Structure formats: structure tokens, C-alpha cells
Amino acid sequence: MQTIYILWLRQLKRYLRSKSRIIGALGQPLLFLLALGYGFGPIFQKAGQGNYINYLAPGIIGMSIIFTSIFSGMEIIWDRQFGFLKETLVAPVSRFNIMLGRTLGGATVATLQGIIVLGISFIAGFRPHGWHLIIPAILVMFLISLLFTALGTMIASLLDDMQGFQLIINFLVMPLFFLSGALFPLQGLPAAMLTVAKLDPLSYGIDALKALLLGISHFALATDLAVLAVITFIFLSLGSYFFSKIQL
Amino acid sequence: MNIIEVRGLSKRFNGFTAVDNISFEVKQGEIFAFLGPNGAGKSTTIKMLTTLLHPTSGHMLLNGHNPVTDSAQVRRSFGIVFQDFSLDDELTAYENMEFHGVLYKMPPKVRRERIEQLLKLVDLWDRRNNLVKKFSGGMKRRLEIARGLLHHPKIFFLDEPTLGLDPQTRTHIWDYIKHLNQTEGITIFFTTHYMEEAEKVAQRIAIIDHGKIVAIGTPVELKALTNTHSVEEAFLSLTGKTIRDEEANNVDAMRIRRRMWHR
């Protein structure tokens, strides 16, 4: 228990101490929110879909979460050869606890990043459908964070070096984000694209956020939560399995 | 009593034999040097002894425990300083020590006292609240030595602990290590490319080349065996003068990139 706590605390301390990382990771969501939000706003309005900033905000929160989570998970690649990981792997601690502590830490960091983006979207004009649903929305953000940090850990356990990182960003993270319904409604999509969106875990995360923050939902909140929970469990299990197989 | 026993230990990676049927033992309280050219199998052997890598065949006992089947007991028995720095740069010296103490489940009171004692020993107590990224290479090494000793290990592994350090720092580091060997009776197992360090510090030396141990004995015995006047000459006479070009692996590539990032 103490092991998990100290590993979690370490991730959090590292995050809070690297101001440049916090600010840097905000640049992209901010740009999306402002450029797309104000850029497509009038068209969205004309199409009878209402306020685009409102529609977009949960998607952009999801975006900052998926990027931060996968990156936190993949930080293990750095640590694996140099930093702390070697030190932790020779300690009399189970691999599962190491993996869990790190993943919980990474997920907490990603949730914090999501909360900051939520705050920024308020400034940009986002208004949730009910203020009392902010806390449940943050819990959903944590669940999404956990899912993708576990995925990042799993990928990191399988890769040898950072060479593959760009590949993961372009062929995994970007598609997961763009096909998730973060930017556009899933209603009325071509069948093929809807099928892809249905296979994308982030779709359910963003749908759950929209259900709570906007009161609109494609899959229904209960389905979203069930899918997220099951996939998180699968990724955590696979992540800890692959992590336990790391030999240096 | 032998604190380390190795019998017929081998490690093969995809047809390449990194360690080839080696056997040796280290006595409790001994300072033992493990020398060899690049790619000879030193680091692979240390990784197997410290539970990071499973051997292809052979037996090992550390402090009476088998690293493969009883890794938790073995991990409690040793401390290690890796070739690459393994501190967290974003944490302070004290936080790095504390992290280690928690991982090794030391009671808080004992942990705090021992951290203070060791940080004073390596002259870093005044810098305990500074972030490690502000430290020089020598300071980082001293901190890693203090950290590796925190949980009272019986065996202390040091993989090229003085690489890239100036002669003053190197002398200091060996003084700490010898001091600990004498006062706490810790067995020291180290590798180095500085032969004069091995000659000065080690009580016994094993020389490994192409995965095999080619000679083992006290510095005097090695010199007598090869009819030379220094361990360096003995080493060259045993391993030849050909330069070993170790193929750069991913780790080396990352090491280079990391240096570029951090400077």
C-alpha cells in the first residue's frame, strides 16, 4: 500500500514541478478549443446544432486527457533504461504494485490536466448543463485517464525505445481522438465511420462526459460507464502482465 | 563463508552467448573486482545476480538465496549502484532517499536516522533539499552510494561507479566504500575500467572475457600468473590488445540522445 502511495506521490510531484510541461500540454487543447470552437461555431449554429463551444468542450477535455495519459504511461520507456525504474525493479516490491502506483499517478496527473482544460473552457464560454454534475464528470475523467494510462504502460512495456513514440501518436492516439466523436456528433455518420467510432474506447469516455456536462448522449451513460470500466480492467490486467515480463 | 556462489552460469540471447558457463564465489566481507573488456559479460552477470535477468542455465546463491526462485529475499540482501544514473532528477536528494526507504519498507524512525547518517557520510546533508538535477556527476554518485546502503545490505554491487569522475571524486568514493567495508562488514562487488583502482582496492579479482572467466585471484597472484608488474599489464596479457567494438544497442542510442537533451 505504502509502495503504491509513494509511486503515486512521485508522479504527482514530478508533474507539479515541471511548469513547462503543464503549460506546454495546454497549448494544443487551447488551440483546438479556440480555433475550431470559434471557427466552426457559426456553421454549427446554422445547422441547428446549437453552441459549438459547448459541444466541443467535453471532446477537448478528452483530448488533453488521452494525450497526457498515454504520455505518462509511456514515460516508463525513459525510466526503464535510466531513471527510477531500475531502482524500483531491484527493490523487494511486486511488479504489480509498481505498475499500479505509476498508473494511478499518471491517471491523477491526466485528470488534473483535464480539470485545467475544463477551467479554460469555462473562460472560453462553455456552460455545463448542470453545475452539480461537475464532480461526477471529474470521476469519469479519472476513469478515462486510468484506461489510457494503462494502455500507455502496456505499449511502453512492449517497446524498447522512444523511436516508436511518434508512430504511436500518429497511428494510435490521433485516430483514437479524431474518430471518437470529440469534434462532431455521431448521429447520422456513414455506417463505416460509426462502426469505427463504436470500437474506439474514447468515444464512450467523451459520450459519458457529454451526458453529464451537456445532457446529450449517443450510447446512454450506463453503457458508457460499463464499457469504460471493462476496458480499463482489461488494459490494467494486460499492462501489468506485460510489465511483469520486462527484463532489462 | 561464501556470500555469493555461482556455478556453471550461462546466458544466451538469440544464439549469442553473453555469459558462458562461469563459476566463482565471493567470501563474506571481501572486496571483489569483476573486470573485463567491453561486452565481456560483466553487466549481464550483474543483472542475473541482481534478479533483473533470468539465466539460461546454471545456479547462483546470494546470501544463501536463489535470485530466480527467491527474488524478494535476494533483493533485500543487496544494494546497487548502476552504471547509468538511476536517480529521479525532479526529486530532491532527501526525497530520493526516502523513496528508497519506503520501497524497502523501513520503519519511519529508522529510515530518517539512517538517511541522516548516510547523507552526512557522503557530505550531502547540507544539500538534502536540493533537486538532484542541480547536482554534479560526482554528487549524484555519492547520493546513489548512500541510497544503495540505506537498507543495510549485506552485498553492495557497483557497476563502474567512478566512470567519468575526476580523480579527487574517485579517491573520495573509494574511501567511502572501503570505510563501509571495514565498519559495516559489507561485501563489495564492483566493476571498473580503471585497473589501478582494482589493484588498490580489491582483495580478489576475476577477469572475464568473451563470457568466460579467464583468471581469478588476488592482485599478487594475477601478476605472478602472467609474470607482469601491474594488474593493468596482467589484464592486457590475459585479454589481448584488440579493441572491442561493442555493437551499439538501443540503450546506447538513448544514452546519447539523453545527453543531447540534457545539455
Adjacency order of strands within the sheet including B16-27: B16-27, B2-13, B57-62
| pLDDT tens digits, B18-76 | 999 999 999 999 999 999 988 889 989 999 999 989 999 999 999 999 999 999 999 99
> Which residue of A2, A18, A84 is in closest CB contact with B86?
A84
Place of cell 563463508: B1
Please give, one letter per residue, the 3-state secondary structure of chain B: CEEEEEEEEEEEECCEEEEEEEEEEEECCCEEEEECCCCCCHHHHHHHHCCCCCCCEEEEEECCECCCCCHHHHHHHEEEECCCCCCCCCCEHHHHHHHHHHHCCCCHHHHHHHHHHHHHHCCCHHHCCCEHHHCCHHHHHHHHHHHHHCCCCCEEEEECCCCCCCHHHHHHHHHHHHHHHHHHCCEEEEECCCHHHHHHHCCEEEEEECCEEEEEECHHHHHHHHCCCCHHHHHHHHHCCCCCCCCCCHHHHHHHHHHHHHC
Q: Which of A84-98, A200-214, B111-125 has the lowest mean pLDDT?
A: A84-98
Q: How far apart are CA A33 and CA B249, in angstroms?
A: 42
Residue B255, pLDDT > 70, answer no
Between the alpha carbon of residue A190 and those of residues A44, A179, A193, A194, the distances in Å are 19, 12, 6, 6
ipTM, interface predicted TM-score of the complex: 0.85
User: Could you tell me which residue, B243 or A32, shows the higher pLDDT?
Assistant: A32
Q: CA of B230, closest CA in chain A: separation in Å? A: 35
Q: CA of B54, closest CA in chain A: separation in Å? A: 8
Q: CA of B233, closest CA in chain A: separation in Å? A: 33
Residues of chain B found within 8 Å of residue A2, distances taken between Cβ atoms: 102, 105
pLDDT given for residue B262 in this prediction: 47
Contact A87 B75 (CB under 8 A): no
Q: How far apart are CA A180 and CA A206, in angstroms?
A: 7
pLDDT given for residue B251 in this prediction: 56
Predicted confidence band of residue B258 (pLDDT cuts 50, 70, 90): low
Contact A92 B95 (CB under 8 A): no
Q: Which of A149-163, B17-31, B110-124 has the lowest mean pLDDT?
A: A149-163
Q: Which CATH number goes with the domain that contains B163?
A: 3.40.50.300
Burial class (CB in 10 A: 0-12, 13-18, 19+), A178: middle
C-alpha cell at position B226? 602472467
Is B75 at the interface with chain A, CB within 8 A?
yes
Between the alpha carbon of residue A51 and those of residues A23, A179, B111, B167, the distances in Å are 27, 21, 57, 68
A165 contact partners, CB below 8 Å, separation of at least 6? A74, A77, A159
Q: How far apart are CA A22 and CA A40, in angstroms?
A: 27
**b (16+ CB within 10 A) / e for A93-126:** beeebbbbbbbbbbbbbbbbbbbbbbebbeebeb
Contact A83 B86 (CB under 8 A): yes
Q: How far apart are CA A32 and CA A240, in angstroms?
A: 34
Contact A92 B105 (CB under 8 A): yes
Q: Which of A98-102, A163-167, A225-229 has the lowest mean pLDDT?
A: A163-167
Closest to B81 (Cα-Cα) out of B164, B167, B140? B140
pLDDT given for residue A73 in this prediction: 86
Amino acid at B87: L
Alpha carbons within 13 angstroms on the beta-carbon side of residue B138 total 13
Burial class (CB in 10 A: 0-12, 13-18, 19+), A30: middle
- B153 neighbors B98 (Cβ within 8 angstroms): no
Domain that holds residue B217: 2-262
Per-residue pLDDT, averaged over B182-196, amounts to 93
pTM over 0.80: yes
pLDDT given for residue A234 in this prediction: 96
pLDDT given for residue A78 in this prediction: 78
Dihedral sign of CA atoms A137, A143, A149, A151 in order: negative
C-alpha cell at position A84? 527510477
C-alpha cell at position B212? 568466460
Is B113 at the interface with chain A, CB within 8 A?
no
Place of cell 451526458: A211
> Which residue of B103, B147, B254 is in closest CB contact with A93?
B103
Residue B122, pLDDT > 60, answer yes
Per-residue pLDDT, averaged over B166-171, amounts to 88
pLDDT given for residue B148 in this prediction: 94
pLDDT given for residue A224 in this prediction: 96
pLDDT given for residue B85 in this prediction: 87
Between the alpha carbon of residue A39 and those of residues A122, A206, B210, the distances in Å are 18, 21, 65
For residue A81, give the chain B residue with the closest CA: B251
**DSSP class of residue A220?**
-
Closest to B160 (Cα-Cα) out of B19, B4, B22, B33? B33
Q: How far apart are CA B193 and CA B232, in angstroms?
A: 10
pLDDT given for residue A247 in this prediction: 75
Number of domains within chain B? 1
Contact B104 A86 (CB under 8 A): no
Q: How far apart are CA A212 and CA A189, in angstroms?
A: 23
Residues of chain B found within 8 Å of residue A162, distances taken between Cβ atoms: 254, 257
- A162 neighbors B254 (Cβ within 8 angstroms): yes
Residue B252, pLDDT > 60, answer no
Query: Could you state, in order of their start, the residue ranges of all structural domains in chain A?
Result: 2-244
